Amino acid sequence: MTPLPPQPISPLDGRYFPVVHTVGEHLSEAGLNRARVRIEVEWLVFLTDHAMFATSPLSIDDRAALRAVVDDFGQAAIDELAGLEATTRHDVKAVEYFVRARLSELGLDAIAELTHFACTSEDVNNLAYALTIRDTVQDVWLPAARAVTDALRTRAVELRAVPMLAHTHGQPATPTTLGKELAVVVHRLERVLAQVEDTEYLGKFSGATGTFSAHLAADPEADWPALSRAFVESLGLVWNPLTTQIESHDWQAELYDRVRHANRILHNLATDVWTYISMGYFTQIPVAGATGSSTMPHKINPIRFENAEANLELSTAVFSTLSETLVTSRMQRDLTDSTTQRNIGVAFAHSLLALDNLRRGLGEIAVAEGRLAADLDGNWEVLAEAIQTVIRAEVTAGRSEIEDPYALLKELTRGRRVGREDLVAFVNGLDISDGAKARLAALTPATYTGLADELVGFLDS
């Protein structure tokens, strides 16, 4: 058998790449290296701006040329770094040599020894990861999550008054509206997305064990904590003053737990919509040319929601591992986080793929109002709650002497199907006021939805 040419192992880099490639812009090896180069370049600019070690601020042209190394980072740079790492066997050292080569090309050899000055690799790495994770969340994941939330919000408002039989424990229950049920999901998501949006992205820049030892040896007079803070904050990050060799990753664990929470809410949405499709509450809009089953031509399978469900489970599993393992590092440093963090993009990509499926799936379903109405009309016994509650109010107000209204309705309806005529006759025979009888006699499963319609309005509050 002829061997295949090199192939991607993960479907994220194969079948699903067109959907998730934007994650790779940031959370890939190339994206990480570009961010590392940015940290090294900005540290050079920062040190010279502060005239450290008898340097002078770079000219406008030199500063622009140095930053262009980051802006123009492309395949040539990726290939060069790969060659350097093959020799150094150290990714960050390769980045240092790459930057030194650029300084030489730009005629800036005089500041070459400030490249990676007083840095441990983790000083560069933690800031690079903070930038790439922040950009992935803000530029890629949050917009996709909001697109799904916005689509749900639109449907919730459109369907706010469409009555639907509820199912608690899988059994017919007090009716609701389809819009209100979608609004519940929107409300849940918006809370969690707000928490994700408020994430603090922390960074450290304090040397081999977080003590500024090399810094102080080089310049005992400098206020190194203040300089470190200013540098980290110049990158738009939050400074962490107390660390070991590594930034402790607590902010990452917090972020991944929040995204994982959003994943679980979306998973709940996917399984509910799948169930409603199977019950006939939603119909799927045929897509021209699409095949539902290889053998059963009539089928339109709910693949968008099934794919979303599976990818959310994968994403959640990886995020769970990330949040649980990254917060532990033996004494002042071990290397377990290095391999672990290289899978951050995997977690976000599976979530992004699920979001894409959900957004598209929500646009490919229609409400079967006739089916909803038929289900409501076939379950008049759900009005038992309303009847026994009205009786209780009548007894409390002194307008009835009925004992144990709950037991009375249980005897009538539990495990039995009753129709409109049965309930009207039952209500007319009750010892309650005429007003209460009229109110109950007028009630139908389709109108017994309480304030469901109005509750959708809380999305705007």
Residue with tokens 């307008």, as numbered in its chain: 399
- The question of whether 293 is a catalytic residue gets the answer yes
| Residue 395 and residue 360 share a domain | no
Phi, psi at 158, each rounded to 5°:
-65, -35
| Residue 144 and residue 113 share a domain | no
Query: Coil, strand, or helix at residue 340?
Result: helix
| Residue 385 and residue 329 share a domain | no
Domain boundaries, position 425:
380-444
> Which two structure tokens, joined as six digits, stand for 100?
């030194």
Distance (Å, whole) CA 459 – CA 42 = 43
Q: Is residue 449 assigned to a domain?
A: no
Q: Which of 59, 169, 294, 298 is catalytic?
A: 169
Q: Is residue 460 assigned to a domain?
A: no
Report residues of the chain scoring pLDDT below 50: 294, 296
| Residue 169 and residue 284 share a domain | yes
CATH number for the domain spanning 93: value is 1.10.275.10
Q: What pLDDT is stored for residue 410 in this prediction?
A: 79
Q: What pLDDT is stored for residue 290 in this prediction?
A: 59
Q: What pLDDT is stored for residue 288 in this prediction?
A: 58
Distance (Å, whole) CA 109 – CA 114 = 10
- The question of whether 116 is a catalytic residue gets the answer no
Question: pLDDT tens-digit profile of 252-296?
Answer: 999 999 999 999 999 999 999 999 999 999 999 876 555 555 454
| Residue 341 and residue 195 share a domain | yes
Cα–Cα nearest to 345, from 11, 20, 8: 20
| Verdict on whether the full-model pTM lies above 0.95 | no
Number of domains in the chain: 3
> Which two structure tokens, joined as six digits, stand for 437?
């009888």
The string over 355-364, giving b where at least 16 C-beta atoms fall within 10 Å of a residue's C-beta and e elsewhere, is bbbbbbbbeb
Q: Which of 104, 234, 278, 293 is catalytic?
A: 293
What would the DSSP string read from start to end of 151-174? HHHHHHHHTTT-EEEEEETTEEEE
